Amino acid sequence: MPQWIRACATDDINPEDLIRFDHDGDTYAIYHAPDGRFYATAGRCTHEDVHLCDGLVMGHLIECPKHNGQFDYRTGEAKRSPVCVNLKTFPVKVEAGTVFIGLT
């Protein structure tokens, strides 16, 4: 069972954007998809040690700000080189305007 950690308020993230969330020495990216849903992934690109929080969200893709590699942040799937390794994803739930990330 994941431990649900409060990450942010829903209105902390604009639609089609993301923010950085740090917890217990690890860093994550929390996404607000254009359809209104929220998602969470590991914060750093799997290609180089670059945080995705400065990247560009286009639909359900996150583009790394350094080399333009892309992931589908819903599944973590690497979609465009130079990224080859998938991104780790985490469960998310929204309750009363708060976004929680599920960590094990």
Partner 1 sequence: MTAAPFPVGQRDYSLVGPDSRRAVEIGLASAEWYHSDVPRAVMKDLMKRTDGPAIRDTILWFALLIGGAWGGIYFWGTWACVPFLFVYSVIYGSSCDSRWHECGHGTAFRTPWMNDVIYQIASFMVMRNPVTWRWSHARHHTDTYIVGRDAEIAWMRPPKTLTNFLALFDVIGATRSLLILARNATGRLTPDEKDFVPESEWGKMILAARIHMAIYAATIAVALATWSWLPLMLIGLPRIYGSWHMVMCGHLQHAGLAENVLDHRLNTRTVYMNPISRYIYWNMNYHIEHHMFPMVPYHALPRLHEVIKADLPPPNLSILDGYREVFASLRRQKTDPEYYLRKTLPPSAKPYREEFHTLNIARSNT
Minimum distance, C-beta of residue 88 to partner 1, in the bound complex (Å): 19
SS3 56: strand
Q: Tell me the three state secondary structure of residue 85.
A: coil
Q: Of these, 38, 63, 76, 78, which contacts partner 1 (CB under 8 A)?
A: 63
Q: How many residues bind partner 1 (CB under 8 A)?
A: 18
Strands (E), 10-60: 17-23, 26-32, 38-42, 56-58
Site stretch for partner 1 (CB under 8 A), options 4-12, 21-29, 61-69, 87-95 = 61-69
Distance CA 104, CA 14 (A): 27
Binding site for partner 1 (CB under 8 A): 17, 47-49, 54-56, 58, 63, 65-68, 70, 80-82, 84
